[in-house]
Amino acid sequence: MSGEPAALGTPELPTFIRQGTFRRLAKMPTVWIATVILFTALFFSFFGALLAPFDPNFTDLNMVNMAPFASDFLLGGDRAGRDIFSRLLVATSNTIGGAAIAVSISVAIGASIGLMAGYYGRVFDALGAWLSNLIQALPGIIVLIAVYVVAGPSTVTSMIVVGILIAPVYFRLMRNVVISVRNELYVDAARVSGLSDIRIMSRHIFVVVRAPIIIEMAYIAGIALVIQATLEFIGLGSPENPTWGGMLQDSFNALYISPFAILWPALSIILTVLAFVFLSNAVRDTLGDPRSSGGKARKAIVSTPDSRATADAGSTHAFLTVRDLSVAYPLSKNESRTVVNKVNLEVNRGEVLGLVGESGSGKTQTAFAILGLLPPEAIVDSGRIVLGSTPLLGLTEKKLNALRGSEIAYVPQEPMSNLDPAFTVGQQFGYAMRKKLGLSKAQSRERALSLLARVNINDPERVYDYYPHQLSGGMAQRVLIAIAVSCDPELLIADEPTTALDVTVQAEVLDLLRGLQQERSMALILVTHNFGVVADICDRVAVMKDGEIVETGDTRKIVKHPEHPYTQLLLSSVLDNVPMRAPLEPQAEVRA
């Protein structure tokens, strides 16, 4: 999986609507409830005035502060003796209409400027970003109050202003999505294919942005509704028509006399806002926002009957023994996909084993299983991993942590993404050496400096204080190697350690790994897809295909006389063995 070359990015964008989205949404009860509430609100916003049993401004002095369910006034009367239920119904159109205005304005302004900024960049982008920062730096309510002073009470005006104030949300969303899509190679390909900008936007960019825009609309409608009610509540709403916020203010002022009256407008507001927010969240989750599921990086499930058995694998004298290891991932409740299938491996001290295979062969999964770093959903079906005399499968995280770093260590594939960007090189060394070797701060610094010098870093003192972004890829990989060997591990597992590097740097890093391995007589497992790397450094090779080891043996023997057809196929595909392209047709050369 992660053993694939770095260039294989995420194969699909998480946000575009796939078939079945609506079917999955329809199964969620919150979605149903939210939809019913919103449709009710929408219905009343059109027909509320017709259905209201009384005129919203009709007053009956007998009904002043009347309790609910006690008279013709279904939900009671307010402090002027008006029917709360009728007022509530009539106010719906004001509320929903206001939210609609705010949403349309913010989409129209924010999305269009965001689209321009993202697609054309430069001036549009700078201007848009400046405006959006400006607007976001203003406390919205204060702006609305200033507008009230100038323009007087008007729902339409204030909701237009709310739309403008919220527009930066769309601007940012749109700009970021467009920029990420714009950098996709398929947009470049479309430009090279001769498509006009408008065609590219409508065909490639709109598809990706429409889902997030819809999600955000519900959410923004909720916000607009809250702002509107707030304004009305503090007395800056329009006084002629009843509004939910205005009713709230009325009943708040009569709170001690008639405590129930406040319930109805409050419930109307909360339910509608909740419906908007829940709907927006549900759609977001269904479209596969990765943030929808939490949980710590638990250890993978280990279901092996004899995982705690003592090391009867002692019959072989290898330092690391892997027996019948299988790893699977659940696809659904009953199905699972096996990615490592009954793998057997042995590595001796001072030996370099190459684990070779193409993407999806299970080589990286095998390496992670040994390190105990499989993702939580992985299932280790069966098998046994014994390091020295310690069985590794089934160990508690605490005991594993005691071994990691000082017994087994790991060198990753991508140097840049494997250093914590927020800490200096020196700080990244720190933890393991101080805890595992019990060194003081000064001692661990000294040791780190000598290790940096050992991995051929020119100015260790300076690099020690560098942050990862100040390092080149090759330097970062040297730093990672230095940290990996800092607690004198007996076994080093390097997962494609040179794949992300340039060839000239690759050669140097391989020299370094070979040197370290020999002077410390470590065991080294090198996961790679490159037979050249194998030939350069490995004593023995295990060839993996579809989760199984198909052939294993001495490097020279396997490379020169492969027995398994798959090994033969792999070796024959190596481009070094393909004949050189013949020069261009003679007659073309003749023209010279």
Q: Could you tell me which residues are beta bridge partners of residue 409?
A: 492
421 binds another protein (CB under 8 A): yes
584 binds another protein (CB under 8 A): yes
Considering only 72-80, 131-139, 322-330, 387-395, which stretch makes contact with another protein by CB under 8 A?
A: 131-139
Among 323, 435, 520, 564, binds another protein (CB under 8 A): 435
Q: Measuring CA to CA, how many Å separate 61 from each of 58, 82, 256, 333, 428?
A: 10, 8, 19, 65, 76
Query: Using the 8-state DSSP alphabet, how is residue 139 labeled?
Result: -
The dihedrals phi and psi of 161, each to the nearest 5 degrees, come to: -65, -40
Among 67, 145, 179, 311, binds another protein (CB under 8 A): 145
Site for another protein in 289-308 (CB under 8 A): 290-291, 293-297
Shortest reach from residue 306's CB to another protein, in Å = 26
Q: Which is nearer to another protein, 265 or 391 (CB)?
A: 265
Q: Which is nearer to another protein, 67 or 141 (CB)?
A: 141
Among 405, 426, 460, 547, binds another protein (CB under 8 A): 405
271 and 37 Cβ atoms separated by less than 8 Å: yes
262 binds another protein (CB under 8 A): yes
Considering only 38-46, 315-323, 518-526, 555-563, which stretch makes contact with another protein by CB under 8 A?
A: 555-563
Q: Which is nearer to another protein, 85 or 410 (CB)?
A: 410
Q: Which is nearer to another protein, 43 or 431 (CB)?
A: 431
Site for another protein in 210-229 (CB under 8 A): 222, 226, 229
Under 8 Å CB-to-CB from 93, ≥6 apart: which residues? 44, 45, 46, 48, 49
Site for another protein in 52-111 (CB under 8 A): none
Among 51, 123, 255, 257, binds another protein (CB under 8 A): 255
373 binds another protein (CB under 8 A): yes
Considering only 36-44, 108-116, 334-342, 420-428, which stretch makes contact with another protein by CB under 8 A?
A: 420-428
Considering only 253-261, 300-308, 323-331, 449-457, which stretch makes contact with another protein by CB under 8 A?
A: 253-261
258 and 65 Cβ atoms separated by less than 8 Å: yes
Under 8 Å CB-to-CB from 129, ≥6 apart: which residues? 117, 175
Question: Position of tokens 């705010």?
Answer: 102
List the structure tokens of 502.
């340039």
Among 58, 124, 329, 423, binds another protein (CB under 8 A): 423
Draw the binding track, 438-477, toward another protein (x: CB under 8 A; -: no contact). -----------------------------x-x---x----
Among 160, 215, 269, 339, binds another protein (CB under 8 A): 269
547 and 338 Cβ atoms separated by less than 8 Å: yes
Shortest reach from residue 174's CB to another protein, in Å = 18
Under 8 Å CB-to-CB from 26, ≥6 apart: which residues? 32
Shortest reach from residue 148's CB to another protein, in Å = 5
Amino acid at 563: E
Among 29, 139, 305, 586, binds another protein (CB under 8 A): 139
371 binds another protein (CB under 8 A): yes
Among 83, 381, 414, 496, binds another protein (CB under 8 A): 414
555 binds another protein (CB under 8 A): yes
Candidates 53, 163, 178, 160; CA nearest to 115 is: 178
List the structure tokens of 372.
């105990």
Under 8 Å CB-to-CB from 14, ≥6 apart: which residues? 287, 288, 289, 290
List the structure tokens of 283.
């759609």
Among 26, 51, 55, 196, binds another protein (CB under 8 A): 196
Site for another protein in 321-350 (CB under 8 A): none
Among 74, 179, 214, 266, binds another protein (CB under 8 A): 266
Candidates 89, 53, 60, 91; CA nearest to 77 is: 60
List the structure tokens of 53.
């049993």
Query: Using the 8-state DSSP alphabet, how is residue 411 labeled?
Result: E
User: How many Cβ atoms sit within 10 Å of the Cβ of residue 510?
Assistant: 19
567 and 558 Cβ atoms separated by less than 8 Å: yes
Query: Using the 8-state DSSP alphabet, how is residue 487 labeled?
Result: T
